[in-house]
Structure 1
C-alpha cells in the first residue's frame, strides 16, 4: 500500500509537484466504474463522480443526498476509490521522477565544454541532491509498506503472562453479576494502580519563571514536539466526522459491508469517557478529572526507577512513586494497535479488545493514527483546535469529511461558547482563597502574583454580576432579572480587569496546572472550607450562631450547585458535570475573552439569586475557527440529507474564511423513489374555511385549534399505519393536546389511531417508539383502530436520527413554522452581527432576517425528512400553514420535496388528493 509524502523535505516536494504538472492531468479523468456492493443507482453514481472530482481537485464540497439514497455507501465508495487511486498515483509519479532524474544526472556527464567546470559541478550536484531526495522518499514508502504488510499478515497476537490474581479473577467472575465484576475490577485497580499520599508537596506549583524564559521554553518544547512528530510517517487519510457515536458505529458497519471492507485500515477515535478501561479513572464524573487522573497515572508509570540489588527494594520504590495505569503498557498497546488496524472495529469493539488484551484503547487509537487510512471521530475532536492537536491529528494533505453537517454552523458556535454561573465564580474564588492562605508561605513570588491576579479577576466577575465574592452566592440577591449583551472589549472594560494580560494568565494556568493543584487540595482537605469559615467567624466576632449560619450557607450552596448541574446535565450540557472545583471550567471562559472583539459577544443574565446569574461567551463568527480546517486539509466535504439552505454555509463559513467560489463544488441529488411515491402538500385553510395561521399571535385561537383537530382527525381516517405530527415546541404541543382533550377531539382521534406523545426524558424514547411500532403492527391485522399517531416536537428527540420508514411513517404533518424566539438577546445580537458584516441576498433581504428564516426551515427539513427511507417506501407530507404556500419558502425545502410540493387553497380538493394517493398505493400493493 502506498503512503503519504507529507513527511519529506520541501525541496523534494517542490520537485515532485513541478514534475506532476508536466504529466497528463488526471484530475478531470473521473473513473467510470466505482466498486459498489450492488448495482448503484444513477444518483449514487453521479454522487460518487462529483465526490471523486472534488477530492481530486482539492475542493470544498457541499453534498446533499436524502437519507435512504445510500449516502453513506456513496461517500465510502467514492472517497476510498479516490484514496486508493491517489496512493497508486503517488508511487507511479515517484518512480517516473527517479527514472527521469537518473537519466538527467547521466546526461550531465556529457555536457558540452561551453560551461566551465564550476558550473558543471553545481548543476550536477543539484540534480544529484534531487535524485537522492526522491530515492529517500521512495525508501520511506517501501519501509512503510513493509510495516503495513507485517501488520496485515499478523494473525496471532502475543499472549502475555497473567498473574495468579488475574487468573483467579477471570475464573471467579465469569458467572458473577456485572456490578460485582465492576466492583472487583475497581478493587484490583486500587491495589495495583493507586497513588499513595505524598503530602502537600504535589499541591504547590513549581517556581514559575519569567515570561521570557517561559516563552523560550515553549519554543524549545514546540520544536522538540515537532521533531518528535516528524519521526512518524502519516499515510494520506480520510477523517470522517459525525454527530453521535451511534452514527459513527453505523458508518463503520457500512465500510465493512462495502467492497473496501477487507483492504482498508479504519480507526475509531473517542474521548476517555468512551475508551478508558481503568475503573479508577472511569468512576470520576468529570471528563476534566478523568483527563488529569489519566495523565497522573502516566506520569507515575514513566518515572525512572533505579535498579536495586533487592527485588523488595524495587517493589517499595514503585509503591512510593505510584503504580501507574495497568493498561498503559507499550507492548500490549502495540498488539492492540495491530489488531484494530487489521480488523475494522467501532468504539465498543475497541474497548472490549482493550479489556481482553489489558491494553489502553484510548492511547492505542491515537498511536495508530499515522497508519490508518480512514479515521472515524466525533465532531468536537476535529472542530476544536486544541483537542485536534492533542489527539495527534494532522490535516495537511488529508481529507476531512463531515457528515450530518446541516447544523455545522451551530455546532462550531456551541463548541466555542462557554457559560459560567455566579455559583461557580463564588465557589472558585472561595476555594482559591483558601488555597492561597494555606500555601502563601510556600508559594514563590511569581506564583503568588498570578494567583492574586486570578482572584482579582474572579472578584471582578462576581461584582459585575452584582454580588460579593466573600459571601456565599446562594444567599446573595442580585436584583431584578436583566439580560445585557456586550462586546468583548466592553465587557473587559466594564468588569474592571482590562488592564490584566489574559494571555499570560492562561499561560500560567497551563504551565502551573493551578486548577489541577486546587482540585487536589480540595480532595485531600475537604474540610478546609469549614475551617476557613470558622477563622472568619472568629475574626468578625460572629459567635457560635454566626459560625453555624456560615456552615449552613456552605451546605446549601453546595446542594444548589449540584442541583443546578444535574439540571444542566439533563439538558445535555457536557460541561455541567459535577466538579469539585469549577476553576478549570472558568479557565475556558478566560480563553474565550482573548477572542477578537468582532468575533464574539458576552451575554450577561441577571436573576434575583446571585448563584443563578450567568456570563456566556457567544461566538459570532464560526469561520474564524473553521478556517484552519479549510486551509490545512487537502479537501473538505460537508454532507447531509438536507443541506438547504446552502447559501448560508457559503456566506458564513466558506466565504468568511476566504474560500473563493471557484474552490466550492455543490452537488444535490434527488431521491431514489419514483415521483409518485411522495405526495407533498401545503394546505392554506381547514374544513371550516379558517386560514391556517399559526403565527405567534394567532396560534392559540380556539377556532384554529378546532380546525387543526378536524384536519388531523380526517387525515387519520385516510392515512394507513403511522402518522407523525410535529409541533413547534413542547409548550404548544401540550396546549393543543389539552384543548383537544377538553373539546372531545382527542376522543375522536383515539377511535381511529392510538395516540403517543414524545417523552421529555431521553431514557423513555426507546420505550415509546417500541409501543408506537407495536400498535401499528397490531393494526395491520384489522380492527377499528388503524395504526397510531405520534405527537412530536421540532428539534426534539424524534426530529433527528429516527427513521419512520414504511408503515411507521406513511404521513408526516408539520403544524406551523418553528421560528425561534425573535426576542432572544442572543438571536438579536446574531442578526445584528450578520447585518453588519454580510451583504444582502439576491432578493435584497437582510442577512439577519435570512438567518432567522433559515433556522426555521432547517428545522422543518430535518423533521419532514424522517419519512421515506428507501426506494420502495412512500408517504405524504402535509405542511399546515398558509405561509408554506409562498414561493420563497418552497425554494428552501429539499429539492426532491420542493419540486413536488402542491399548494392547496381549499380543504376539499386537498383531502381528495390525499385519499386518491393512498388508494393508488393500495392498488399497487394488491397488484
Structure 2
C-alpha cells in the first residue's frame, strides 16, 4: 500500500486499480481539506468513481492521522525516558551547568529529585486515572441493569403506598377511582419530580466519565438504505476493506430481528414496542435483584441480551458488513443488531448512517453519536437544504388533534386519583393546547371533526409569536411541556392505554350516513370508517395479519409543539383550512436550516458535502454554511470533470423549432397549440436519428397530460410510435420497475432486429420517479430532452414565505434578490439531476437537448455542471442544431434517417 506523498508531486493513494486523473485530483483535494480542518463542497459526476474516491481519500488521511498521533505519543514517551535518564546523573553536565552559577550540590540534587518525582507522579496519576476508568467501564458493561435497582425500589415503595391508600379509599364509603386491572399499573405515569435538570448534572457527569472514549472517526451519511449498502460494498472491494473498523447504523424498522415486533409495520409502532420490551427487561432484572415478583407477564425481547450484543459488537468491528449482512449475522447469534451497532460506535473508524440519524439533533444524541473533532461526509447532498428543512418541519391535522384530546381526556379521567399533582397539571396543559389548536382550525373537541365543516377555506401564514397569540397559548411554557413529554413518555403511555382498552380493530366498509355522538363515537369511527380523504388513514397502520393499529397521534403533535420552540425568525406556521376540520391542518415551516446544521459545523473537525451534481453551489454556501456562521475562508469548492472524452457528449440549447417558432415554455405560453406542435416536430426529428432510448422530461404531470392529449388529437403520437415504442412514467412507485423492465427489453429487441422501430421513447417528469436514482446508461438513454424550465410553483405560500425570508436575510447576487436566485437554483438543480441520468460510465455517450430559449442566458448556463457547461452549444435555429445531432450519432457509428 502506497503512502501519501507530501512532496511537490501528486499524492499517491491506495486504489484497487490505476485511478483516473480526476480521481487523483479529487482525493488530493479531499486529503488537504481534511488535514486543514475545513469544509469542502465536492462535485464529482456519477460514473466517475465518487464513492471509491471518497473512501480511499478519507481513509488514507485517517490512516496517516492515526500514524502521526502514534508517532507523537512515542516521541513524548521517549523524551520522558531521556529526561529520567539524564536526571539520574548527579555529577554530569547538568551539575556542571548548575555549578557554573554557584548553586550548592544539595540544591542541584533536590531540583533533580523534584523533577523526577513530578514526572513519576504524573505517570502514576495517568495510570491510576486510566485504571479507574477501565474499572468503571467494566463494571458498567457487566452490571448495566443494576443501576435501575435503587430507582425501581423507590418507585415500588411509592407505588405500594399509593396502592394502600387507594385500597383504603375503595373500601371506605365515598372512595374514588376504579380498581386497576392486572398489569394496568404500568400505564400510569410515574411521578414527575422536577422541571429542572440541574440536580441530575452530577449523575450525567459521572456517566460521561465512564463512557467509552471515541476514537477519531469518519461519519459517512447518505439518503437511502440502498446507497449506504452500495458504499459499504465499494469499501469491501477497496484496499481498506480488511483493515477498517466499520459500523452500519439504521432504524429499528430495518434492523429489528424480532418478528413479533417487525410485523407491526410502521416505524413509530416498532419503536414504541421495542422501548416497552426493553424497559420490561430492565424491570425484570431489577425485580430479580430485589427478590420480588410482580403479577402478570410482561413481554421482553429475547434478542436484547447484553452478553450476546457485546459478542455481536466485536464481530461487527472485526469484519466490514453492510446492513443485510449484519442482520443476517445477528439472527445467527440471536442478538439485537440495532443496539449492538450502537455499542460499536466508540471504537469504529468509519460509521455509515442515514441522513436522519446524523442531522437530527435528538436522534443523533439518542444514537450515541459524538461529533466533537470528528469528520462528517454527507454524500448525495444536492437536496441537503430541503432534507434538513423537512426534518425540522412538522404538520398535524384536525383529526389528529381531536383524537389525541379524546384519548388523553379519557386517560386522565381513568387514572386521576393515581396521578401526582404535577402530572395532572401538565396533562391539563396539553389538553388546553390541543383544544386551542383545534380551535384555530375552526373545530370543537366535543364533536366529530369529519363532520365539522370549515366556514372559510384558505391558507394563512403566521410567525411563531403571532400564532401563539392567535391561538391563545402564549401563556403556556412550551419548553417545559416538551421536556415533560420526553421525560414522562406520555405518548407511549397513551398508546398503551388505547391499545389496552380497544385492542386491534379490523377496518369495516364505509357506513352510510353521518355519525354523531361526541368524542368516544369519533374514536370508534376512526377504526370503523375510512373517509377517503386520507385524514384518518394517516393514523392507521396495517399489520401483516390484516388488522389495523392506530398509531399515537400525540407523538406527531409533540413534534409540532417542539417546532414552536424555534426562534421566531426561523420558522412560520401555515394554517390550512379545507373541507372538514379533520382534513384541515397546521404546518410548521422551517425557514432557516442553517441553525440546525450549525451544530454539526461547530463540533466537527471537518465536513465534506459531496454529490454528483452540486450546482448551483451558491445555495449551499449562502443558505447552509455562511448563514450558520462559517467564515468564507474555511469553505473549499472542488468540481471535477467527467471521465468520458469531451466528444462523447453533445449538450445543445435549442431556441426555436423547425418552423422557427420560438421555444418558450412559460406558464402562459406552454399551452399554446403552436408551441406544443413545435415540440412534437422536434421529437419526431430526433426519433429519426437517435438510436436506442430517448428520454423526454416534462416540467410537471399536468403539462405532460396536456401535451400528450394534444398530440393524441393531432395524430403525432401515432407518428412517433412508428419509429419508437412509447412508454410513460407511472405515478405509482410500485409500477416503476415494471415500466423500466419493458422499456429496457424493447430497446434490446429493437437493436437485434432490422424492423422500422429503432428503440423506445420514454416520457417522464422532472422531480418524478425517474428523474433521480435511475440510470439510463448506454442504449437506455442515448438522448435526454428537457422540455421547458421546471420552475417551482411561485404561487405556493410556503415558497413565497421562503423567498421573503431570504430577501431579508441574504444579500443580492449581481443585483438579483436572494428570493429570485432561490427560484432559479431550484429549477436548475432539478434540471441537472434529470439530464445527468444519461452518462453513467467512461464509455458512454449521449446527446442533451434543452428546449427553451431561456437556457441561453449566461446566469442559467453558469449553473449547469462544469463538464456539461464546457461543451454546451447554443443554437438559435433548428437546422444547425439537427445537423450537429445527426453528425454526433454518425460519428458514433449508429444508423440514422433523414429528418421528417
TM-score normalised according to structure 1 size: 0.84
The Cα of 1:914 is off from its aligned counterpart by 0.2
**Would you say 1:624 and 2:595 are equivalent positions?**
yes
**Would you say 1:372 and 2:341 are equivalent positions?**
no
Secondary structure of 2:64's counterpart equals helix
Indicate the larger mover: 234-243 or 101-110: 101-110
Mark the CA change 1:528 to 1:400 in structure 2 (over 3 Å): closer, same or farther.
Answer: closer
**Would you say 1:277 and 2:289 are equivalent positions?**
no
In the alignment, the residues of structure 1 paired with residue 248 and residue 61 of structure 2 have an alpha-carbon distance, to the nearest angstrom, of 21
Return 5+ residue gaps in structure 1 as ranges: 1-24, 144-195, 530-544, 571-576
Residues 424-482 of structure 1 deviation map (CA, whole Å, 9 limit, x = unaligned): 11111111111112222222211111111111111110111111122111111122221
Could you tell me which of 682, 695, 719 is aligned with 2:666? 695
1:132-211, aligned counterparts within 5 Å?
Answer: 198-211=182-195
Indicate the larger mover: 447-456 or 285-294: 285-294
Residues 613-636 of structure 1 deviation map (CA, whole Å, 9 limit, x = unaligned): 111111111111011111111111
1:674-693, aligned counterparts within 5 Å?
Answer: 674-693=645-664
The Cα of 1:374 is off from its aligned counterpart by 1.2
Mark the CA change 1:684 to 1:135 in structure 2 (over 3 Å): closer, same or farther.
Answer: farther
Secondary structure of 1:717's counterpart equals helix
1:322-333, aligned counterparts within 5 Å?
Answer: 322-333=298-309
Match of 1:506 in 2: 482
In the alignment, the residues of structure 2 paired with residue 141 and residue 220 of structure 1 have an alpha-carbon distance, to the nearest angstrom, of 17
Could you tell me which of 615, 633, 653 is aligned with 1:662? 633
Secondary structure of 1:371's counterpart equals coil
In the alignment, the residues of structure 2 paired with residue 318 and residue 26 of structure 1 have an alpha-carbon distance, to the nearest angstrom, of 67
Secondary structure of 1:370's counterpart equals coil
Residues 791-826 of structure 1 deviation map (CA, whole Å, 9 limit, x = unaligned): 111111111111111001100000000000001111
Residues 212-240 of structure 1 deviation map (CA, whole Å, 9 limit, x = unaligned): xx4234424432432332xx132221111
In the alignment, the residues of structure 2 paired with residue 548 and residue 209 of structure 1 have an alpha-carbon distance, to the nearest angstrom, of 38
Secondary structure of 2:243's counterpart equals coil
Could you tell me which of 884, 892, 905 is aligned with 2:863? 892
**Would you say 1:783 and 2:755 are equivalent positions?**
yes
1:522/1:528 contact within 8 Å kept = no
In the alignment, the residues of structure 2 paired with residue 282 and residue 908 of structure 1 have an alpha-carbon distance, to the nearest angstrom, of 60
In the alignment, the residues of structure 2 paired with residue 703 and residue 691 of structure 1 have an alpha-carbon distance, to the nearest angstrom, of 10
In the alignment, the residues of structure 2 paired with residue 568 and residue 511 of structure 1 have an alpha-carbon distance, to the nearest angstrom, of 26
Match of 1:458 in 2: 434
Residues 549-593 of structure 1 deviation map (CA, whole Å, 9 limit, x = unaligned): 8776554455357962687699xxxxxx97433011100111111
Secondary structure of 1:288's counterpart equals helix
The Cα of 1:322 is off from its aligned counterpart by 2.8
In the alignment, the residues of structure 2 paired with residue 122 and residue 562 of structure 1 have an alpha-carbon distance, to the nearest angstrom, of 84
**Would you say 1:584 and 2:555 are equivalent positions?**
yes
Return 5+ residue gaps in structure 2 as ranges: 89-93, 136-179, 506-513, 541-547
**Would you say 1:226 and 2:208 are equivalent positions?**
yes
Could you tell me which of 346, 365, 369 is aligned with 1:393? 369
Mark the CA change 1:528 to 1:376 in structure 2 (over 3 Å): closer, same or farther.
Answer: closer
For the aligned residue pairs, the C-alpha RMSD in angstroms reads 3.1
Mark the CA change 1:786 to 1:293 in structure 2 (over 3 Å): closer, same or farther.
Answer: same
The Cα of 1:526 is off from its aligned counterpart by 1.8
Match of 2:714 in 1: 743
1:27/1:57 contact within 8 Å kept = no
**Would you say 1:810 and 2:786 are equivalent positions?**
no
Secondary structure of 2:636's counterpart equals strand
Mark the CA change 1:353 to 1:466 in structure 2 (over 3 Å): closer, same or farther.
Answer: same
2:656/2:663 contact within 8 Å kept = yes
1:507-522, aligned counterparts within 5 Å?
Answer: 507-522=483-498
1:44/1:70 contact within 8 Å kept = yes
In the alignment, the residues of structure 1 paired with residue 685 and residue 465 of structure 2 have an alpha-carbon distance, to the nearest angstrom, of 58
Could you tell me which of 534, 553, 565 is aligned with 1:564? 534
The Cα of 1:242 is off from its aligned counterpart by 0.5
Indicate the larger mover: 506-515 or 718-727: 506-515
Secondary structure of 1:812's counterpart equals strand
In the alignment, the residues of structure 2 paired with residue 30 and residue 838 of structure 1 have an alpha-carbon distance, to the nearest angstrom, of 41
1:522/1:580 contact within 8 Å kept = no
In the alignment, the residues of structure 2 paired with residue 71 and residue 290 of structure 1 have an alpha-carbon distance, to the nearest angstrom, of 35
In the alignment, the residues of structure 1 paired with residue 625 and residue 7 of structure 2 have an alpha-carbon distance, to the nearest angstrom, of 24
In the alignment, the residues of structure 1 paired with residue 872 and residue 558 of structure 2 have an alpha-carbon distance, to the nearest angstrom, of 51
In the alignment, the residues of structure 2 paired with residue 566 and residue 102 of structure 1 have an alpha-carbon distance, to the nearest angstrom, of 73
In the alignment, the residues of structure 2 paired with residue 29 and residue 280 of structure 1 have an alpha-carbon distance, to the nearest angstrom, of 61
Residues 36-68 of structure 1 deviation map (CA, whole Å, 9 limit, x = unaligned): 111111000000000011111111011000001
Indicate the larger mover: 412-421 or 329-338: 329-338
In the alignment, the residues of structure 2 paired with residue 235 and residue 200 of structure 1 have an alpha-carbon distance, to the nearest angstrom, of 45
In the alignment, the residues of structure 1 paired with residue 227 and residue 33 of structure 2 have an alpha-carbon distance, to the nearest angstrom, of 24
In the alignment, the residues of structure 2 paired with residue 703 and residue 610 of structure 1 have an alpha-carbon distance, to the nearest angstrom, of 45
1:492/1:498 contact within 8 Å kept = yes
Residues 229-273 of structure 1 deviation map (CA, whole Å, 9 limit, x = unaligned): 2xx132221111101001111111111111111211221100000
Match of 2:806 in 1: 834
TM-score normalised according to structure 2 size: 0.86
Could you tell me which of 442, 446, 449 is aligned with 2:418? 442
Match of 2:160 in 1: none
In the alignment, the residues of structure 2 paired with residue 84 and residue 137 of structure 1 have an alpha-carbon distance, to the nearest angstrom, of 28
Secondary structure of 1:303's counterpart equals helix
In the alignment, the residues of structure 2 paired with residue 861 and residue 677 of structure 1 have an alpha-carbon distance, to the nearest angstrom, of 18
Secondary structure of 1:851's counterpart equals helix
Match of 1:193 in 2: none
Mark the CA change 1:549 to 1:528 in structure 2 (over 3 Å): closer, same or farther.
Answer: farther
The Cα of 1:372 is off from its aligned counterpart by 1.6
2:5/2:11 contact within 8 Å kept = no
Indicate the larger mover: 713-722 or 468-477: 468-477
1:756/1:791 contact within 8 Å kept = yes
1:740/1:746 contact within 8 Å kept = yes
Match of 2:443 in 1: 467
2:250/2:338 contact within 8 Å kept = yes
1:681/1:877 contact within 8 Å kept = yes
Mark the CA change 1:621 to 1:123 in structure 2 (over 3 Å): closer, same or farther.
Answer: farther
1:722-761, aligned counterparts within 5 Å?
Answer: 722-761=693-732
Could you tell me which of 342, 351, 357 is aligned with 1:381? 357
**Would you say 1:772 and 2:743 are equivalent positions?**
yes
